[in-house]
Structure formats: C-alpha cells, structure tokens
Amino acid sequence: MFSSATKIWTTAWKQYLYKLKAFSFVSLIVMQIIILLLSTSGIGMYGTSNDNLHVNIKMYASDVVIIGTFVWIFVIAFSLTKKESKQRDFTLVSTRFSSCLSDLGLLVTLSLIAGVTASLSGYLLRIFRYLVSGSGLINFNAFKLSPAVFLQGMAAAVLYLLLISAMAYLFGMLAEFHRIFAVLVPALLLGLFRVQSQAVVKVIEFFVAETNLALFAGKVIGVSLLLFAVSSLIFNRMEVRK
C-alpha cells in the first residue's frame, strides 16, 4: 500500500516535470504584452469641470492584464482535459490519478508564474507612462504601492488564477465526460444569472467581498481542491465507462 502510494506520487512528479518542460509560455507572454500595449492608453477616465476649469484623469493599472491572464489560464486548464492531452499522458507510465495530480501541479505552477508576471506588469506600465508623460501632471499617490499592498494583490491574483483553473478543469472534465455538459454548464450558469441573480452574486461575493487575505486564501484553496477532487473522480468514472 505504502509502496503503491509512493509510486503514484513519484509518477505524478515525473509527469509534472515532463509537462512543465514541454509547456510553452509564449502565449502567456504575447497575450500580456499585447494587453499591456493596449493598456498604455488607460483603463478608465474621469472627468469633471467647475466653471472654466476642466480636469481629465486617465487611470492606469494592470487590471486588464490580470483579467486577460484569467482568460488565458481558463483556456489552458480547459485544454488540459482534452482527449489528445490526456492521451499524451499515457505515452508515459501513469495512472488516471497521477495524471490529475500532475495537471494540478502544472496549473498551480502556471497560476504562480502568470499571477506574478501579471501583477508586475503594472510597473512596466508605470515606467512607460512616466517616460512618456515626464514628471508633469502625474498623480504619484499610487505610483509606488506599499510592499504589503503589492504582495497582497499578487497573492490574490495567483489565488484567483488557481480558482479559475480549477473551475475550467472541472468544466473541461464534464465536457469530456459527455458532450452535453459543454452546452449544459454555460446554459445552466446563464440561467442561474437570470433566475437567481442574487444567489450568484452571493457566490461571487463569497470570494470578492473577502477582505482578509488568509481567509480568502483558505476559501480559494479549499474550493479549488474540492473542484480538482471532483474532476479527478469524473476522470476515474470515464475510465470505468470506457
């Protein structure tokens, strides 16, 4: 029993290293750079006037880069559940469980890398705007974030990416389990938005309204592990079915 468990972990670790080695980060880098370039024109604008004075404030932040990275991890996690991707796993010595474990390891690593780069991209934007605008009319209030605020934001970005990847992985597994889920899940979510919008808002607020980072991390890690466990069970059921 002990030997078997050790073997699964060793196999999962080897698979994880193999997948990480083969993974290309080009899509992440290209996507982040493209969105950064688009963000150089600002993500929001505020304007006010009083008699003869007009004030226009252009806001800059890496919000759009982070949202783009959410989409990226969703697509990557979804694609990991595809039949072709899973078949590649079985060219190596592996089990269904070790395959899921290695996917989980890969998605955690990708969330970490993508979250860190997405959060740091805001500083590249700041340097760019500083060089373009000179030191003229720049509001320096949030130019330098306190290390605590920056680190909290970066940790939250990584955690959100982990949560989204877990959701996408489960959705992908369901879609692979039966094609009908590929249509049923989005339809169900859209229906819920229309019929039970308050309930959906409550679910979203469960994460976004949490102002304590430790509690937020607990919620995200707990829910993500649950989603990955359900995905793994579905994957095992697929084996029985086939």
Q: By C-beta, is 102 or 232 nearer to another protein?
A: 102
Residue 49 three-state SS:
strand
Nearest distance in Å: CB 154, another protein = 8
Nearest distance in Å: CB 14, another protein = 15
By CB under 8 A, what part of segment 12-51 binds another protein? 21-32, 34-35, 38, 43-44, 46, 48, 50-51
Q: By C-beta, is 71 or 180 nearer to another protein?
A: 71
| Residue 92: DSSP 8-state | S
Q: By C-beta, is 13 or 128 nearer to another protein?
A: 128
Q: Is 52 in the site for another protein (CB under 8 A)?
A: yes
| Residue 90: DSSP 8-state | T
Chosen residue from 112, 185, 213, 229 binding another protein by CB under 8 A: 213
Nearest distance in Å: CB 200, another protein = 15
Distance CA 74, CA 174 (A): 14
Q: CA 233 → CA 2, 43, 173, distances in Å?
A: 21, 41, 10
Q: By rule CB under 8 A, what count of residues binds another protein?
A: 80
Q: Which string of x and - marks every residue 146-185 that binds another protein (by CB under 8 A)?
A: x--xx-xxx-xx--x-------------------------
The one segment of 80-88, 98-106, 205-213, 218-226 that binds another protein by CB under 8 A: 205-213
Q: By C-beta, is 4 or 198 nearer to another protein?
A: 198
| Phi, psi (rounded to 5 degrees) for 196 | -120, 55
Q: CA 155 → CA 80, 108, 217, distances in Å?
A: 24, 12, 9
Q: By C-beta, is 182 or 229 nearer to another protein?
A: 182
Distance CA 165, CA 74 (A): 5
Nearest distance in Å: CB 188, another protein = 21
Determine contact, residues 101/8, Cβ cutoff 8 Å: yes
Q: By C-beta, is 153 or 234 nearer to another protein?
A: 153
Distance CA 8, CA 95 (A): 8
By CB under 8 A, what part of segment 107-146 binds another protein? 113, 116-117, 119-124, 126-127, 129-130, 133, 135, 137-146
CA dihedral 44, 30, 104, 184 (to 10 degrees): 60
Residue 51 region by backbone torsions, left for phi larger than 0, else alpha for psi between -120 and 50, else beta: left
Length of the chain: 242
